[in-house]
Chain A
Amino acid sequence: DAGVIQSPRHEVTEMGQEVTLRCKPISGHDYLFWYRQTMMRGLELLIYFNNNVPIDDSGMPEDRFSAKMPNASFSTLKIQPSEPRDSAVYFCASSLRANYGYTFGSGTRLTVV
Chain B
Amino acid sequence: RKEVEQDPGPFNVPEGATVAFNCTYSNSASQSFFWYRQDCRKEPKLLMSVYSSGNEDGRFTAQLNRASQYISLLIRDSKLSDSATYLCVVIVNTGFQKLVFGTGTRLLVSP
A residues within 8 Å of B by Cβ? 33, 35, 41-43, 45, 48, 55-56, 58, 91, 98-102, 104-107
Are A43 and B101 in contact (CB-based, < 8 A)? yes
Output the nearest chain B residue to A41 by Cβ-Cβ distance: B103
Are A100 and B32 in contact (CB-based, < 8 A)? yes
Are B46 and A102 in contact (CB-based, < 8 A)? yes
B residues within 8 Å of A by Cβ? 32, 42-46, 49, 87, 91, 94-104
Are A56 and B96 in contact (CB-based, < 8 A)? yes
By Cβ-Cβ distance, the 7 closest A-B pairs, closest first, are: A42-B103, A104-B43, A43-B101, A99-B97, A98-B97, A56-B96, A99-B91
Are A45 and B43 in contact (CB-based, < 8 A)? no
* Residues of chain A lying within 8 A (CB to CB) of residue B46: 101-102
Query: Once bound together, how far apart are the Cα atoms of A109 and B46, in whole Å?
Result: 21
Are B101 and A42 in contact (CB-based, < 8 A)? yes
Are B96 and A55 in contact (CB-based, < 8 A)? yes
* Residues of chain A lying within 8 A (CB to CB) of residue B45: 104
Query: Once bound together, how far apart are the Cα atoms of A45 and B91, in whole Å?
Result: 12
Q: A105-B43, A106-B42, A106-B43 are in contact. Are A42 and B102 (CB under 8 A)?
A: yes
Are A45 and B44 in contact (CB-based, < 8 A)? no
Query: Once bound together, how far apart are the Cα atoms of A58 and B98, in whole Å?
Result: 12
Query: Once bound together, how far apart are the Cα atoms of A82 and B101, in whole Å?
Result: 25
Residue from the list B87, B94, B96 in contact with A43, Cβ < 8 A: B87
Q: B32, B94, B98, B102 — which one has the most chain A CB atoms within 10 A of its CB? A: B98
Are A107 and B98 in contact (CB-based, < 8 A)? no
Are B98 and A48 in contact (CB-based, < 8 A)? yes
Are A45 and B97 in contact (CB-based, < 8 A)? no
Are B98 and A43 in contact (CB-based, < 8 A)? no
Query: Once bound together, how far apart are the Cα atoms of A99 and B99, in whole Å?
Result: 6
Besides A45-B100, A56-B96, A98-B97, 11 other A-B contacts (C-beta < 8 A): A35-B101, A42-B101, A42-B103, A42-B104, A43-B44, A45-B98, A48-B98, A56-B94, A56-B98, A91-B43, A102-B46
Are A104 and B97 in contact (CB-based, < 8 A)? no
Query: Once bound together, how far apart are the Cα atoms of A45 and B46, in whole Å?
Result: 17
